[in-house]
């Protein structure tokens, strides 16, 4: 299976051209150039493996290489947010936020000798009572290393200071006292500022930052910039903020990283598609910017043509492991085997079952799982996943087909029919607009019959900080297994 995402999006519009380069759920993207290659990562939240690693030669065509962590570090349990990929003195460092077991959100760093890893975690650096997130390292003009981050005080309805503090070269301890750079003080910033990333140009340091509501259908996110001649301040916010806001194609743009390519400057950040919104999630966008004669930043306006080209993805379960595009819940350890062109997914006796999924890349798609009934002794299904408490499923149970909805942990049957399968059974979900779902079945993979005749509203599925996944599920007693020999996702 090709691991290369090749997509084009050029925007015919009078507003800024925002190019889609990381389709699907890639919140808070970060990028750095190492040698002649760009490396990127993004928030994984409660999906595993943790923090995707992608590489590109041109900032637009990205290849999935792997992940930073296959399992949570010992100190953390969930909410893995905002990895910041950096390169310094021959080593790669990834700063990130995670929820400390028995505590709150903390900042940590992992390091590796190569960008593809393996990565060694160094444990939490900063753990404020209300939470600490969105780390970014920066050196001052004398070469002293600092860490910039956000105190997550909006979680308790308080202002959100952006802090800076010196850090040792080993990235294992903070030095001296922290100092505030700025906080949310302006009406457009609403209840927070966050996601700070910096670049130095001429006499100034520039801080790109996001403000207001990041996530969900009511998001109000936008991007601002501040500048200072000294890293420790004083910092001046641009009077023309926000410099990046929504347009007809993309909503709530923000939380990114500046990067240089061939002497030109670009910003990799996220935004919601105006069409598929929260259902495909915060997707990775790229836009060029420049420094103005008066010492500020502006994004470059450029027209283009609208096109989103998404190739079908087929997994035939070969090679001994799941392809890198598959994800699972951080609270469920995956239990599976891949052999002889089959996925054997062990069951869980819970309402959600054990599931594995892939990012959805548009609002309109079909996902089809080919089940081997003769080898299956669990309820085997195709599933649309919000999280472990919210799913939609079509199960084959051995003698029936059942469409079920798990909502806030409560399971209910929407439609069912008696059915005794033969040697193979194709189960399909068809999505429209990202949130309307119909489940179908076929014995030959060509003609499909519906199980539910009225589309199901799945608007309840996505958690506040994540998008949908679609995949396969195995539900039943311990030791039982669902067997699949193909999974196809076709986006329109």
Q: Please state, in angstroms and as integers, the Cα–Cα distance from residue 393 to each residue in 158, 233, 258, 304, 333, following that order.
A: 40, 53, 41, 39, 20
Confidence of residue 333 (pLDDT cuts 50, 70, 90): confident
Residue 4: the pLDDT is 35
Confidence of residue 5 (pLDDT cuts 50, 70, 90): very low
Over the stretch 468-480, which tens digit does the pLDDT of each residue have? Answer: 999 999 999 999 9
- The C-alpha atoms of residue 141 and residue 300 are separated, in whole angstroms, by 28
Task: Copy the structure tokens of residue 31.
Answer: 């990028």
Question: Mean pLDDT over residues 103-108, rounded?
Answer: 98
The alpha carbon of residue 130 and the mean position of all alpha carbons in its chain are separated, in whole angstroms, by 23
Q: Please state, in angstroms and as integers, the Cα–Cα distance from residue 290 to each residue in 203, 208, 226, 305, following that order.
A: 15, 13, 14, 22
Radius of gyration (Cα) for the chain, nearest Å?
Answer: 23
- Strands 354-359, 469-475: pairing is antiparallel
Residue 13: the pLDDT is 33
Strand partners of residue 343: 338, 484
Provide the residue count of the chain.
492
Question: Mean pLDDT over residues 97-110, rounded?
Answer: 98
Residue 492: the pLDDT is 85
- The C-alpha atoms of residue 338 and residue 484 are separated, in whole angstroms, by 10
Does the annotation mark 28 as catalytic? yes
The runs of H, that is alpha helices, within 35-94 are: none
- Residue 97: helix, strand or coil by DSSP? strand
Query: Of residues 25, 28, 134, 387, which has the active-site annotation?
Result: 28
DSSP conformational letter for 156: G
Question: Mean pLDDT over residues 95-100, rounded?
Answer: 98
Task: Copy the structure tokens of residue 228.
Answer: 């200072």
- The C-alpha atoms of residue 114 and residue 111 are separated, in whole angstroms, by 9
Does the annotation mark 194 as catalytic? yes
Q: Count CA atoms within 13 Å of residue 141 on its CB side.
A: 12
397-406 LR contacts (CB < 8 Å, sep 24+): 398/373, 401/427, 401/441, 401/451, 403/439, 403/451, 403/452, 403/456, 405/456, 406/351, 406/352
- The C-alpha atoms of residue 385 and residue 428 are separated, in whole angstroms, by 14
**pLDDT at residue 251 is higher than 50:** yes
Closest C-alpha to 254, from 86, 108, 82: 82
Query: Of residues 194, 283, 315, 342, which has the active-site annotation?
Result: 194
- Residue 124: helix, strand or coil by DSSP? strand
Confidence of residue 3 (pLDDT cuts 50, 70, 90): very low
Q: Which domains does the chain have, with CATH numbers?
A: 4-299 (2.115.10.20), 313-491 (2.60.120.200)
Confidence of residue 306 (pLDDT cuts 50, 70, 90): very low
Helices then strands (H, E): number in the chain?
1, 39
**Cβ proximity of 27 and 270 under 8 Å:** yes
- The C-alpha atoms of residue 133 and residue 152 are separated, in whole angstroms, by 7
Neighbours of 30 (CB within 10 A): 26
Neighbours of 348 (CB within 10 A): 22
Closest C-alpha to 99, from 58, 138, 36, 50: 50
Backbone region of residue 459 per phi and psi (left: phi > 0; alpha: psi in -120 to 50; beta: other values) = alpha
Residue 11: the pLDDT is 32
Residue 459: the pLDDT is 98
- pTM for the full model? 0.95
Residue 310: the pLDDT is 79
**Cβ proximity of 322 and 64 under 8 Å:** no
Compute the mean pLDDT over every residue in the chain, rounded to the nearest whole number: 94
Confidence of residue 2 (pLDDT cuts 50, 70, 90): very low
Question: Mean pLDDT over residues 157-183, rounded?
Answer: 97
Residue 302: the pLDDT is 63
- The C-alpha atoms of residue 158 and residue 221 are separated, in whole angstroms, by 18
């Amino acid at each position: 299976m090709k691991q290369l995402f090749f997509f084009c999006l050029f925007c015919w519009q009078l507003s800024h051209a925002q190019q889609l380069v990381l389709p699907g759920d890639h919140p808070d993207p970060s990028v750095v150039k190492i040698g002649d290659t760009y490396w990127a990562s993004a928030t994984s939240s409660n999906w595993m493996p943790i923090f995707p690693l992608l590489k590109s030669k041109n900032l637009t065509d990205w290849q999935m290489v792997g992940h930073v962590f296959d399992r949570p570090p010992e100190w953390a349990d969930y909410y893995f947010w905002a990895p910041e990929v950096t390169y310094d003195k021959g080593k790669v460092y990834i700063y990130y936020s995670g929820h400390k077991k028995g505590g709150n959100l903390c900042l940590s760093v992992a390091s590796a000798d190569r960008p593809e890893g393996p990565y060694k975690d160094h444990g939490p650096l900063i753990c404020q009572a209300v939470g600490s997130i969105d780390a970014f390292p920066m050196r001052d003009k004398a070469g002293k290393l600092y860490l910039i981050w956000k105190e997550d005080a909006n979680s308790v309805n308080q202002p959100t200071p952006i802090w800076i503090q010196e850090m040792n070269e080993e990235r294992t301890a903070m030095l001296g006292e922290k100092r505030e750079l700025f906080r949310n003080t302006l009406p457009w910033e609403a209840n927070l500022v966050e996601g700070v990333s910096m670049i130095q140009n001429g006499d100034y340091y520039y801080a790109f930052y996001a403000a207001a509501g990041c996530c969900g259908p009511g998001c109000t996110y936008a991007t601002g910039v501040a500048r200072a001649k000294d890293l420790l301040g004083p910092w001046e916010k641009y009077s023309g903020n926000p410099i990046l806001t929504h347009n007809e194609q993309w909503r709530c743009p923000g939380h990114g990283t500046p990067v240089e390519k061939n002497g030109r400057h670009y910003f990799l950040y996220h935004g919601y598609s105006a069409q598929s919104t929260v259902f495909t999630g915060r997707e990775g966008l790229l836009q060029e910017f420049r420094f103005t004669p008066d010492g500020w930043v502006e994004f470059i306006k450029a027209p283009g043509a609208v096109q989103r080209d998404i190739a079908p993805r087929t997994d035939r379960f070969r090679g001994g492991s799941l392809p890198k595009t598959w994800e699972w819940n951080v609270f469920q350890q995956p239990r599976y085997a891949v052999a002889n062109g089959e996925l054997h997914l062990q069951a869980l006796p819970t309402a959600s079952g054990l599931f594995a999924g892939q990012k959805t890349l548009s609002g309109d798609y079909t996902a089809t799982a080919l089940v081997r009934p003769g080898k299956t002794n669990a309820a085997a299904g195709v599933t649309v996943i919000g999280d472990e408490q919210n799913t939609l499923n079509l199960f084959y149970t051995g003698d029936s087909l059942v469409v079920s909805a798990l909502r806030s942990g409560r399971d209910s049957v929407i439609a069912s029919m008696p059915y005794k399968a033969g040697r193979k059974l194709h189960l399909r979900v068809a999505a429209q607009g990202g949130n309307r779902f119909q489940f179908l079945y076929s014995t030959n993979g060509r003609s499909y019959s519906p199980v539910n005749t009225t589309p199901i509203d799945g608007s309840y599925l996505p958690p506040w900080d994540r998008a949908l996944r679609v995949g396969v599920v195995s539900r039943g007693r311990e030791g039982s297994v669902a067997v699949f020999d193909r999974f196809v996702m076709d986006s329109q």
